[in-house]
Amino acid sequence: MKIKNLNEFDYELKTVGFTIIENFISADKCNLIKKLVEYELDNYEECLSERSKLDRYHLHDLVCKYTEVAKLLEDKNLDQLLARLLGKSWIMYAFTGSSCPPHSTNYGGRIHVDSPRLIDNYPTNIGVLWALDDFTYENGGTRVLPASHHSNILPDKEYFDKHSQQVECKKGSLIIFNARVVHSTGFNSTDNWRHAITMNACRAYMKQRMDWVRFIPSSIIDELNGTAKRIIGYDTRLPKNLEEFFLPEEQRLYKPNQG
């Protein structure tokens, strides 16, 4: 893996709102994680809610089931790149599989953004996407509207279809994007699935989508390094009583200087 020039990285995130880093994870790792994703999709059980049905191809608990998936959070290069955008104590808001079935799309196919906040020169959320398959025009990949993170207006479908850009990249690539960039999953016109893993990263003081510290079992947590544990939220836990609140500094659940 070759990390691109950091000035180029900063410029692309600032201007067009996204960048691609090729060969971020190996083909073997992609294949291993794909097998886990495919197993979970085959055994998916819908809840009673409509959202559960809409999210049929978005797996929200992969990081809670597989150490191999959770170890994506240990990557020091990923940590350093996101620290440039969100501060060194950034954490994980959401972590989700994103699979596009043959001759269809998924819930991500709507035109949307992944963060409701627009603050000039201060991103609060960054999207990360690990491509487990090649992203092509034919298999849906993902479509983005370049530089749309500078506006609080969500375009209509006609404008988006005309001006958006198909992101194409090789299997194993990492896509990093400002979560305010307008995007959508494309339509998969092939006979094969298109798989990816996505993460929404946020600033350390923000509330996460899930209580990951309690959601992810200790059997997985115990296999992870300190960086992954911080990203999961172990340095931003809240005390549940005064005994925890008055712990010695080195034992406090909420570490100081978290953004």
pTM for the structure as a whole? 0.95
State the chain's mean pLDDT as an integer.
95
Using one digit for the tens of pLDDT, what is the confidence trace for 57-85? 999 999 999 999 999 999 999 999 999 99
d(CA 243, CA 259): 25
Pairing of the two strands 174-178 and 18-21: antiparallel
DSSP letters, 184-225, are: E---B-SSS-EEEEEEEEE-TTSPPSS-HHHHS-HHHHTTS-
Q: Cα–Cα distance between 114 and 110 in angstroms, integer?
A: 12
Residue with tokens 């790792």: 29
Sorted by where each starts, the structural domains of the chain and their CATH numbers stand as: 6-251 (2.60.120.620)
CA–CA separation, 145 and 186 (whole Å): 13
Residue 1 has pLDDT above 80, yes or no: no
Q: Which residues pair with 4 in a beta bridge?
A: none
For residue 217, name the pLDDT band (cuts at 50, 70, 90).
very high
127/255 Cα distance (integer angstroms): 25
Contact call for residues 125 and 177 (beta carbons, < 8 A): no
Percent of the chain at pLDDT exceeding 70: 98
- Residue 97 bridge partners (DSSP): 197
What single-letter amino acid sits at 91? Answer: I
User: Phi/psi of residue 178, each to 5°?
Assistant: -65, 130
- Average pLDDT (134-140) is 95
The tokens for 47 are 């809840």
Report the pLDDT averaged over residues 22-32.
97
8-state DSSP, 22: T
pLDDT of residue 2: 58
Match 């510290």 to its residue by tokens.
Answer: 213
Rounded CA-CA distance 161/90 in Å is 33
